[in-house]
Structure 1
Amino acid sequence: MKEKRIIFMGTPEFAATILEHLVKNQISIAAVVTVPDKPAGRGQKLAESAVKKCALQYNLPVLQPVKLKDPEFLEQLAQYNADLFVVIAFRMLPEAVYGMPPLGTINLHGSLLPQYRGAAPINRAVINGEQETGVTTFFIEKEIDTGEIIQRKSMPIGPNETAGEVHDRMMHLGAEVTLETVQAIFENTAKGTPQSAYVEDELKDAPKIFKQDCKINWNQTAEAVHNFIRGLSPYPTAWTSWPENGNKTLKIFKTVLAETGTSETPGKVQVIEGRLFIACATGALEILELQMEGKKRVPAKDFINGLQASELFWE
């Protein structure tokens, strides 16, 4: 009986970790598809994606198409005769690609679908103060993130956990669930369930986040601002402006809710016993890590050492 094989498609470290887990668990990889090498850094040298580096480490064939509808690429893809395509953190696929393998094409999404469909599921879940998220494998269909669900597995979100920390834990959960899903499909025990079967509450979307979306509004509750900051940390990063310092930008990476509230004006900064606090509409936050425009990311105590003015407001 012919061994079943997959073609793996992905780009960042999240996908590379899952690719490596599949290889180490004897899933046969016919080829890997990733983005073309791109200039990066000061020297603008061509940089390989994390998935390409992983593929080369295991001597896997790598395809790097510029256009996914390119006839030459489609012909290359077809020649591998793979049974299943596995897509993790890649590009939107045309039907000519996802419709090619006989067992279909699956994707892993960083939420409990159908909640948080879109480009930023981890960020949006943390920003919204969710206490739980998870991963979902599903069969790719024409509409993004709407295909039949194969498997879902949940994980908690800690009250002070950042999106980056959730991402790193989710990466390993995603590797386990992807492996289980591939094995189930190969064993013909996987069943697709329409996403409508999981709709219990109003659906929440996870659209892409742009820089202008990341400005902090101190006229919200301390809890809402705290969730906003950790939901954007470490990237794309919540920011505020500092009028007294030439309106320079400050990026805020880590906060905790202050144990006591404050009656100060929202945005007012205070240094109390060597710690940095800022007032919100209700309550206050302690700032733990931040970065001033043109400077390095530092703990709050290092930032405090350079403070001159006694009256500070961030906007």
Structure 2
Amino acid sequence: MRIIFAGTPETALPSLRALVEQGHEIVAVLTRPDAPAGRGKKLTASPVASLADQLGLPVLKPSKADDELVAQVRGLDADVAAVVAFGMLLPQALLDAVPGGWINLHFSLLPRWRGAAPVQRAIWAGDAVSGVTAFRITKPLDAGPVYRTLEVPVEPGESSGALLARLAELGAPVLAGAIADAGAGIQPVPQPTSGITTAAKIRPADAQIDWTRPAAEIDRLVRAVSPDPGAWTLLHGERFKVFTATPAQRAEPRLAPGELAADRRHLWVGTGDGDMQLIQVAAAGRKPMAGADWARGQHDGVSGVRFDG
């Protein structure tokens, strides 16, 4: 089949590789324009653009979905388009430019978690099962009919970054199968009208830890926003990042919410219903380190120290 592939980040790479390995003709790869990256803010191609260049595939880097892009896409004479985390809303004129439609790989079991942050929201909500859905793009967002799904259990202690990486790999054959279904004339099935939830983007302000909340809830927040935007709290008025934490009870009396304690091997903090270990942290302007190592580096110790909020 003649396929347009639209994607931008690393999570899209397994799907692009799968389609190429199956022998499809990738007539164009659509990806976001080069963007500043690294300390030097040097313009850098997206991971998808880099892989496409390695594979010798033609690349388009539109900054917007305008009439020029619609004309370019129509001129490619593609049978179908595959989408994985492209990062641009597709207007109806662009959807209509590909006869077989645009098939998107979404990282949730639709209709649960429609929107920009399905994996993060699933972790934060404590979902035991996540998954992927390959569906045809229509209006409204993430509401199109479904070709294929795959359930994926969430592993204990799994972060959103780790789960997303697994879903990207496991979802690649699901998307490839949906492309084959479309080529065979199989019609997708409408999504259920019940069980719809939305996955709004998580902002940095949303990732601030409230130590009065239960330990299990804080654990889910930390894992949900790892690696981005990252959980944080305030210590002496400055941001203190928490990368990894886990609920765990000390032998000593419980700590008050936000209160710190440490021994040779552990850094502890109190929550609304018990204590937690802070496994990997970073003080303002410092690199990530083990919580116990950070505590040992405090000249006056951490006894009596409390997070500001």
Q: TM-score range by the shorter chain?
A: over 0.9
Structure 2 Cα separation of the partners of residues 17 and 290 of structure 1: 31
Query: Which deviations, in whole Å up to 9, do the C-alpha atoms of 1:64-101 show, x marking residues without a partner?
Result: 112211x3322221111001011110111011111221
Q: Please give the residue correspondences for 1:98-109 in structure 2 after superposition, counting only pairs within 5 Å.
A: 98-109=95-106
Structure 2 Cα separation of the partners of residues 42 and 133 of structure 1: 35
Q: What TM-score do the two structures reach when normalised by structure 2? A: 0.94
Q: What residue number does 1:268 align with?
A: 259
- Aligned partner (choices 215, 234, 237) of residue 241 of structure 1: 234
Structure 2 Cα separation of the partners of residues 290 and 37 of structure 1: 32
For residue 130 of structure 1, give the secondary structure of its aligned residue in structure 2: coil
Whether the 8 Å contact between 2:73 and 2:98 is mirrored in structure 1 is no
Q: What residue number does 2:121 align with?
A: 124
Q: What residue number does 2:222 align with?
A: 229
Q: Are 1:284 and 2:275 an aligned pair? A: yes
Q: What TM-score do the two structures reach when normalised by structure 1? A: 0.92
Structure 2 Cα separation of the partners of residues 68 and 215 of structure 1: 35
Query: Which deviations, in whole Å up to 9, do the C-alpha atoms of 1:249-306 show, x marking residues without a partner?
Result: 1111111220458532111111134201111110111111111110101122321221
For residue 313 of structure 1, give the secondary structure of its aligned residue in structure 2: coil
Structure 1 Cα separation of the partners of residues 36 and 157 of structure 2: 36
Structure 1 Cα separation of the partners of residues 249 and 178 of structure 2: 44
- Structure 1 counterpart of 2:243, one-letter code: F
Change (3 A) 1:204 1:73: closer
Whether the 8 Å contact between 1:7 and 1:86 is mirrored in structure 2 is yes
For residue 196 of structure 1, give the secondary structure of its aligned residue in structure 2: coil
Change (3 A) 1:42 1:234: closer
- The CA deviation at 1:213 is 0.7
- Aligned partner (choices 39, 48, 52) of residue 51 of structure 1: 48
- Structure 2 counterpart of 1:268, one-letter code: E
Q: Are 1:75 and 2:75 an aligned pair? A: no
Q: Which runs of 5+ in 1 are unaligned?
A: none
Q: Are 1:251 and 2:236 an aligned pair? A: no
- The CA deviation at 1:128 is 0.8
Structure 2 Cα separation of the partners of residues 29 and 48 of structure 1: 19
- The CA deviation at 1:208 is 0.6
Q: Please give the residue correspondences for 1:186-225 in structure 2 after superposition, counting only pairs within 5 Å.
A: 186-188=183-185, 190-196=186-192, 199=194, 201=195, 203-225=196-218
Q: What residue number does 2:167 align with?
A: 170
Q: What residue number does 1:113 align with?
A: 110
Q: What residue number does 1:61 align with?
A: 58
Whether the 8 Å contact between 1:99 and 1:105 is mirrored in structure 2 is no
Q: What residue number does 1:149 align with?
A: 146
- Structure 2 counterpart of 1:249, one-letter code: R
Q: What residue number does 1:15 align with?
A: 12
Structure 2 Cα separation of the partners of residues 234 and 117 of structure 1: 21
Change (3 A) 1:122 1:20: same
For residue 279 of structure 2, give the secondary structure of its aligned residue in structure 1: strand
- Structure 1 counterpart of 2:197, one-letter code: K
Query: Which deviations, in whole Å up to 9, do the C-alpha atoms of 1:142-184 show, x marking residues without a partner?
Result: 2110111111101111221111110111110111211111122
Structure 1 Cα separation of the partners of residues 204 and 37 of structure 2: 21
- Structure 2 counterpart of 1:250, one-letter code: F
- Structure 1 counterpart of 2:184, one-letter code: E
Whether the 8 Å contact between 1:85 and 1:98 is mirrored in structure 2 is no
Q: Which runs of 5+ in 2 are unaligned?
A: none
Whether the 8 Å contact between 1:274 and 1:304 is mirrored in structure 2 is no
